[in-house]
Chains A and B, each alone.
Chain A
Amino acid sequence: AQTVTQSQPEMSVQEAETVTLSCTYDTSENNYYLFWYKQPPSRQMILVIRQEAYKQQNATENRFSVNFQKAAKSFSLKISDSQLGDTAMYFCAFIIRGSTLGRLYFGRGTQLTVWP
């Protein structure tokens, strides 16, 4: 079974501070992609960052970076210099590479609030 666990339903951080969102997952597959999606009140799911499981190097996108620990099946998201516009629901997800099903497995989400 493929599962994603986000153990923090809600988090808050002050503007300009750093926050880390946790995600663990479970799969018996060896080759997959991991994602963090952001869903602000505007509702659109926006891709924040992507990690290929066969790559050791942690992905970074500007203020967003991940800590990918494949053996531990952990994929946390660090947001540096938090901005008010980062307020959103964040979903951790993965997809099996090569699968014909195209199914994204989502966690339950973490609601992040950035305070001024």
Chain B
Amino acid sequence: DTEVTQTPKHLVMGMTNKKSLKCEQHMGHRAMYWYKQKAKKPPELMFVYSYEKLSINESVPSRFSPECPNSSLLNLHLHALQPEDSALYLCASSRALRGNTEAFFGQGTRLTVV
């Protein structure tokens, strides 16, 4: 199983809503990532988890709240988002940070904030 599974695939939410994005992998990877991607741009790193601990927060606004309940799961909790937060949110995993092998990406969640 070399898949990273993200749910939902599409999400439309109002600015006052609270929602969560989910990411799951069963490859035994110990590093997991959230990226934000705008149209025709490269992914921008948001958060990195290593062994279930937050390793990097790229100065992301607090309306985005990551959570890593266990080594297979990564969540991104969303609250009070702005229309400019509309984007594709990609989850990725890799074996470990120090291993520095390739990252495997999920299909993303297309988020629209109205």
Q: Which residues of A contact B (CB under 8 A)?
A: 33, 35, 37, 42-47, 50, 89, 91, 95-104, 106-109, 111
Contact = CB atoms under 8 A, between A and B. Distances in A.
Given A44-B107, A45-B90, A50 B102 contact: yes
Interface residues of B, number: 27
Interface of B: 31, 33, 40-43, 45, 48, 50, 55-56, 88, 90, 92, 94, 97-98, 100-108, 110
29 contacts: A35-B102, A37-B105, A43-B107, A43-B108, A43-B110, A44-B105, A44-B107, A44-B108, A45-B43, A46-B105, A91-B42, A91-B43, A97-B100, A98-B98, A98-B100, A99-B97, A99-B100, A100-B50, A100-B98, A101-B56, A102-B31, A102-B33, A102-B94, A103-B48, A107-B42, A108-B41, A109-B40, A109-B42, A111-B40
Contact of A102 (B42, B90, B100, B110): B100
Q: Is the interface of A mostly helix, strand, loop or mixed?
A: loop
Contacts of B88: 43
Contacts of A95: 100
B104 A47 contact: yes
Given A45-B90, A102-B31, A108 B42 contact: yes
